[in-house]
Structure formats: structure tokens, C-alpha cells
Amino acid sequence: MNLEFILLATFLVLCCAGVLVAILAPDRRNPFALAWIGSLASVSILWLSVDVLVSGHTLEIPLWTLPRLGMLTIAVGRLSALFLGTAGIVFLAASVFSVAYLRRYLGHYSLKWFGVLYHTLFASVVLILVAGDVLSFLLAWEVMAIASYLLVNYEHEHEENTQAGWLMLAMGEAGTLAAGIALLILANSAGSLTFSKFAAGSATLAPGMRWAIFLLSFLGFGVKAGLVPFSVWLPRAHPVAPANVSAILSGVILNLGLYGIVRVNMEFLPMTLLGPGLVALILGSISALVGILYATAENDMKTMLAHSSIENMGIIVTGLGAGFIFTATGHSALAAIAFVAAFYHMLNHSVYKALLFLGAGTVDLHVGTRDMDRLGGLIKVMPWTGLFFLVGALSISALPPFNGFVSEWLTLQSLLRSVELDSAAIGTVFAFCGAALALTAGLAVTCFVKAFAMTFLGMARSKQVDQAFEAKRAITTPLGGLAVLCLVLGVTPTFVIPVLDNTLKPFTGASAAQTLIPPFFLRTAPAQLPPAFVSEFHDLGAQIGKGVVPAAGLVVLHRGAERNPVVFAMSTSYMFIVLVLLLAGSFGIVRLWVARKRTVTRRLRWDGGIRRLLPAMTYTATGFSSPVSVIFDAVLHPTTVEDTRETIHEHFRTAIRRSRQDIHILEWIVFRPLAAVAASIADACARMHNGRLNAYVTYVLVTLIGILLLSLSVQT
């Protein structure tokens, strides 16, 4: 009975208890109960994950054996622990948040039901991550799919919520089907359902089969991860769920898709072909670009965050694709860096996306609207929420010293490493994808400046804002915790990278930490760096903190090989210290010296001298992103719905009406043509139903004769 087992068991017991309490307790008490039990469950999972990651112990629990199929097991390794930890963080924040948030449903919807589904979802997520064989994996996956569908559809009185959830479920099931087939092929070649046997069994597969498994698993799990072109369900489903569920969907469920892709293509079937990596790279970049483009043009906070999730998943998959290509061409050190970047980004994304979704939920809870064209000036009333949302926005825009910067920097660096590949064609593809990611990063800044500024800064744009008030500590605490985590993950990359590295070393065979973190704090100079170079970095101060900080160094550095002897380095740790010192210094100088002789007066903003600025006179969210919309017109494909003007006596304008509708690019490129084809096929087949009894009897007769003939031929 080791620690890991106890923790896992505690977790499952807590989830069952949660379900029971949810059913038995009155609705009024339910949020409280959910928060407590959910938090405890998250804490136990977090503890389990940290323990496994740090110590490396694995947990293997055989459940029972199925004849001729293999053993059903529970297996927790470092990879699962990483995903479990991420899930734990998000569920912890969401659970604490639920205490205050769920009160809005009191009396309207059944909170018992919510509690049941919440704990079921948590349990199913963990079971997916700890499943050691195909059957339990798929079972838990289906439970997760149904639970998440029901939670998305929680506010079932709105018709569009049901449709959104239905689309998610349908597409998810289609993806599960494909992924399931991939897993079954692997099981077949391994002769057993247990995951641990897959790697050995798949070594002999032919390239054709490898391609099939890759495509099935990548596209199948890609639906769940929200990859283009299968991401149409994401912007519909994530916004309509309650805010805590949205955070879980974006922060945990999307990761499950990545989990599937990674386990199949890194562990079960290590990449030997070049093609799959390219597919991943290209699809990832396109996802990123399409996602952020639609996020920038979107005015509803949660829909914007949903599109942004597509973007982040795209970045992660780009990193994975780069890693696959490096693995296939034998550059295992570079592959390690790319995978570390991807997983770091996954971890970061869960943290800041949960923060942003919970923040959006807070705004929705207190103001009553999510439309950025109606918000504004909230920072005066909700300063803490605004501050934490700002931290989330800075993180997702990849600005130092927050976590988004580190993982995007690593991703872009790994793309730049393509210089070491032999093939110029692949290098060109890398270049284009790198450019797409850079464009994405720029658009992300635009998008989140708009999100933060239009919501919190400036003037209120509608009367609804007047009723807002600062959130209670039950809400600001999880937001604050996630914000602090964003900063911590950003400032301590040299601690996080070794952890990720230990997780991934078995799959890549090389150590990223050794390449990325030169041990400047150790007395002897590191072996792989030339001494002149080391001394240069010492002159730059790379040894500050030696003896104080328990790590190899605080600088993340990569030095190219002979073909490309360039050094890329960054250190958010030192950056953070310098930032703090500069801020404190300038504050001190101004306060103590400059302001001594002068008085500071506060006056109203300068407005040209008019009597009062009206709410209509502030920049709107649509106006802010309209340059982007105009430039990317060809992609956004707007159709003008209305462009009319009304006049009295022909010269007094009473109204000028303009409105337009954007059709998502995936819809007009992929789905509308597909739907048209499917409809035409269906029409052709529908001619079978002509309503005549004679025809139907003929069908029966033909089928009967056909089966008889078939059985005869089989027998002979």
C-alpha cells in the first residue's frame, strides 16, 4: 500500500462521496459541498502527481484479466502524472470558484445534477489518465464525453446550448471512433489490450500501417483537442457552458486529446516517418492562425477565449510536429527541446486559460453580460478581478516574465532549429510555420489588449456596468492563485524544464534539460560548452544566485551545432528581478526626490472641452479589431447582411444600418461542401423510399436471395 495507491483511492472515494452528497444535500448547500469535496479531490490528485513526477515511482494496479484479450490495469507513470497535475490545478481552482458562482443557478436549475456530473467528470478524467489498457481507457472516455456533454448543456432551456452540446458530442464520438480504431490496430499487433505491451508490438509495423495509425489517432484525438478542421464545435460549446465548466473544458478536456495523440505517437508507436510530423506541423500552424484570427474578431468574451484555445492547441501541436520530425530524422536532442516546449505550453495554457475563463465568468456573474461592446471601466469596481485578468492576458500574449513567454519562446526556438535538418524542403515548411506562429503571436497581443482594455478600462459602455461590484474572496482567491502560478511558472523555467524532461526522456532518448540549462551554478564548467563562452556568460552575470538557488542555473540557453553556431538565451528569472528592481527604483526616485518639489493634482481627462463624454463616445471592441478584420477580409469572408439608410425628406438621415455576418472559414471551405455532397448522396439514396409496397417487397426478396447466395458461397 504505497502512497500513490492511497492517494488514488482517496480520490475515487471522494468522488463517490461527492456524487452521494450532491444527491442527498439540499440545493442551497450544494455549492459548498461541491467546493469542499472537489478541492480535496484535486489536492489528492495534485499530491499524487507531484509525488510521481518527483520520485519517479509508478503505480501499477492490475484489475482483472479478460480471457484472450489481456489485463485491465491502472498504470500511472510520469506522463500521466503530468496531465493529472494539470487537471488537478484546474479542478482545484474551478471547485473553489464554484462556491460563489453556482449560486446564480439556485432555484433555476438543479444543482444536485450539477454536483453529480461534476464529480463524475472529474473521476472519468482521472480514470482516462490512469487507464492502462484500451478497454478501460475507452470506457472512461465515453463517460467523460457524456458527462461533459451534459455539463455543456446544463442551461438546457436555451436552444442553442443543446445544439452546441450535441455538435460537440457528435464530433467527439466520430473522433473517438477513429481513435478507437487506431488503438485497436495497435492492440491487434501487440496481441493484448494492455498499453505496456504496445510499444514492443508495434515495432514491426509497416509504414502504411504506421500512417494509418497516425492519421486515425491524430485526427481522431485531434477532434477532442480542437484542431483545425475539426474545431467547429469548440467555439460553440465552450462559451455556453457555465464558467467553471468552460475552464475545465479548455484546461483539462482539450488536454485529453493531446494525451491521446502523445501516447499513441510517442510511446506506443515512436515516430520513424517524416510525413506525420509535417502533417502535425502544418495543421498546428493553421489551427493557431485561424484560432487567433477569429478570436481577435470576436466580441463575446468566452467565445473569444474558446477560439484562443484553438490557437494554443495549434501551438502545442506545432511543437509536437517539430518534435516528431526531429525524432524521425534522428536529432533526438532537438526533439526533446520541441517536446518540452509543447508540454510546457500545455501546462501553461491550462493555467492561464482557466484563469481567463474564470475571470470572464466573474464578469458575467457580476455584470450580466459578456459582450465586450457593452462593458468597460470595470477596473474601478473590480480591481482585483481586473488585476488577475490582466495577468492572464499578459501570460497568454506571451509577454515576459510570465509563463506564456517561456513556452512560446521555446516553441519558436525549436522551429528555428530546423536549420540543422538536411532537407531544404522541410526547412522551408518550418519557415512558413514559424512565420505563421509569429503572426499568431502578434495577433494574440492585439486580441488580449482588446479583451482587457475593452472590459476593464475606459468608460462604461452600457448601463449594466453600473450594477457591478467587486467579487468576493471566494472568487478572487482562485483567480489570484492561478495568477501567481502563471508568474511562478514563468519565472522558474529552469525548475520546470527538468521535471518535464524527466517525463519525456524515455520517449526521446535525449535530455532537453542538459541542452537547455547549462549548469552555471556548479563549480566546474559544463562539459559541452567551450570555456571562452562560459566565461562570457559569467561576465553577463549568469552565476548570480549561485549557492542560494538550488538549481543548475537560471538561464535557459541553446547553442547550435557547427552548422549553425548561434546562441539563443533567455532568463525570465533574472528578468523578473531586474523588473522589480527597476519598478521599485523608479517609484522610489519619483516619490522621494522628484515629487518632493511638486504637487500632484488629479484632474478629469481632457475631452476637447465638451460638457460630458457620453458612453457612445468610447472606442468599442468592434472598432478596435476592425483593422484586423479588414486586412483578413478574404479569410473572414464577411457577407453584408444590411447596408441601408433611412431618410426623412431625402436629406435628413434618421438611420444608417450596417451589419455583416462572418462565415467561419472552415465552414465555407470544408463543411459546407461536405454537407452539400452528403446531402446529394442522401438525396440519391432517398429515391429508394418511393412508398410503393411492391418495391419494398422486391428489396426484401433481393436481400434474401443475396444472403442465401452469400451463405452458399461461404460454405463452399
Partner 1 sequence: MSDWVLRGLKTGIKTTRYPDAPETRPGISPGLPILGQEIAGVAELCPTRALLAENRCVTVDYRRCVHCFRCARPQDVTPARWQPGYEWAAVEASGNLERGVFGGSLHVLVVDAGDCGACLSEIAQLNNPYYNMHRLGFFITPTPRSADVLLVIGPVTDHMRLPLQKCYEAMPTPKRVVAVGACALSGGVFGPSFVAGSGAADVIPVDVLVPGCPPPPLAILHGLLVAVGRKPAAQITSSAGPAKAETVEVI
Partner 2 sequence: MELTGIVEQAGQRWPGMARLLTRRAAGECELECAPSIAPDLCGWLFSELGYSFGTLIVEERKSEWELRYIFYGNSDGIVQVLVRQPLAERVFGSLIGRVHAADWNEREAEDLFGLGFQGHPRLGDFVLHDDRWDEGVAPMRKGVNGHAPHTKPRHERDWQPHLVLEAPGAFVMPIGPVYSGIAESGLFLLETQGEDVVRTLPRLFYKYRGIEKIAEGRTAADVLLLAERTNGTSAFAHGLAFCLATEKICGIEPPGRARRLRVLLAELERLRHHTGAIREICESTGLAVGTSQAAILEEELLSLSCAFTGHRYLFGANAIGGLTRDFETGACRNVIAAARNIVERLSELEEMLRFSSSFLDRLEDVGIVSQQDARTFGLVGPIARASGVLRDLRKLLPYSGYEAFAFEVPGEQEGDGYARLRILFAEGRQAFRVMEQAVDALPEGAVRTEAFESRPGAALGWVEAPRGAAFHWVRIGDDGAVARYRLATPSFINWNGFHLAAENFAFQDFPIIMASFGLSVAENDR
Beta carbon nearer to partner 2, 160 or 607: 607
Report the partner that residue 603 touches, choosing among partner 2, partner 1, none (CB closer than 5 to 8 A by kind): partner 1
Determine the size of the site formed for partner 2 (CB under 8 A).
35
Find the DSSP H helices in 263-402.
275-297, 301-329, 332-367, 383-396
Segment 367 to 396, residues that bind partner 2, using CB under 8 A? 373
In the three-class reduction of DSSP (H, G, I as helix; E, B as strand; rest coil), residue 267 is classed as helix
Task: Please classify residue 274 by burial: count the beta carbons closer than 10 Å to its beta carbon, then call 0-12 exposed, 13-18 middle and 19+ buried.
Answer: middle
Q: Is 633 in the site for partner 2 (CB under 8 A)?
A: no
Distance between CA atoms of residues 655 and 644, nearest Å = 8
Q: Is 22 in the site for partner 2 (CB under 8 A)?
A: no
Minimum distance of partner 1 from residue 609's CB (angstroms)? 3
Spatial CB neighbours of 666, under 8 Å, sequence gap ≥ 6: 228, 229, 231, 232, 290
* Binding segment toward partner 1, per CB under 8 A, in 152-160, 225-233, 576-584, 600-608: 600-608
* Binding segment toward partner 1, per CB under 8 A, in 211-219, 425-433, 474-482, 598-606: 598-606
Q: Is 547 in the site for partner 1 (CB under 8 A)?
A: no
Binding mask 325-364 for partner 2 (x = CB under 8 A): ----------------------------------------
Beta carbon nearer to partner 1, 610 or 685: 610
- Select from 32, 568, 576, 619 the one that contacts partner 2 (CB under 8 A): 619
Rg, Å, the chain Cα set: 28
Grid coordinates belonging to 338: 520541441
In the three-class reduction of DSSP (H, G, I as helix; E, B as strand; rest coil), residue 641 is classed as strand
Grid coordinates belonging to 116: 453529480
- Select from 39, 153, 418, 625 the one that contacts partner 2 (CB under 8 A): 625
- Select from 610, 616, 700, 712 the one that contacts partner 1 (CB under 8 A): 610
Report the partner that residue 557 touches, choosing among partner 2, partner 1, none (CB closer than 5 to 8 A by kind): none
Binding mask 58-87 for partner 1 (x = CB under 8 A): ------------------------------
* Binding segment toward partner 2, per CB under 8 A, in 37-45, 339-347, 421-429, 617-625: 617-625
| Contact assessment for residue 450 and residue 398, using Cβ atoms and an 8 Å cutoff | no
Ramachandran region, residue 547 (left: φ > 0; alpha: ψ -120 to 50; beta: rest): left
Minimum distance of partner 1 from residue 597's CB (angstroms)? 12
Q: Is 596 in the site for partner 1 (CB under 8 A)?
A: no
- Select from 108, 463, 563, 612 the one that contacts partner 2 (CB under 8 A): 612
Beta carbon nearer to partner 1, 523 or 611: 611
Q: Is 208 in the site for partner 1 (CB under 8 A)?
A: no
Return the C-alpha torsion angle 186, 191, 197, 200, nearest 10. Answer: -80
Beta strand 567-570 with 638-648 is unpaired
Beta strand 638-648 with 59-66 is unpaired
Beta carbon nearer to partner 2, 502 or 629: 629
Ramachandran region, residue 650 (left: φ > 0; alpha: ψ -120 to 50; beta: rest): left
Report the partner that residue 267 touches, choosing among partner 1, partner 2, none (CB closer than 5 to 8 A by kind): none
State the sign of the Cα–Cα–Cα–Cα dihedral 407, 408, 409, 415: positive
Beta carbon nearer to partner 1, 604 or 714: 604
* Chain position carrying cell 536529432: 331
* Binding segment toward partner 2, per CB under 8 A, in 125-133, 185-193, 331-339, 607-615: 607-615
- Select from 2, 528, 639, 654 the one that contacts partner 2 (CB under 8 A): 654
Q: Is 28 in the site for partner 2 (CB under 8 A)?
A: no
| Contact assessment for residue 628 and residue 297, using Cβ atoms and an 8 Å cutoff | yes
The string of DSSP codes covering 654-693 is EEEEEEEEEPPHHIIIIIHHHHHHHHHHHHHHHTT----H
Task: Report angle CA 588, 593, 595 to the nearest 5 degrees.
Answer: 95
Q: Which residues bind partner 2 (CB under 8 A)?
A: 299, 373, 607-614, 616-627, 630, 648-659
Q: Which residues bind partner 1 (CB under 8 A)?
A: 603-604, 606-611
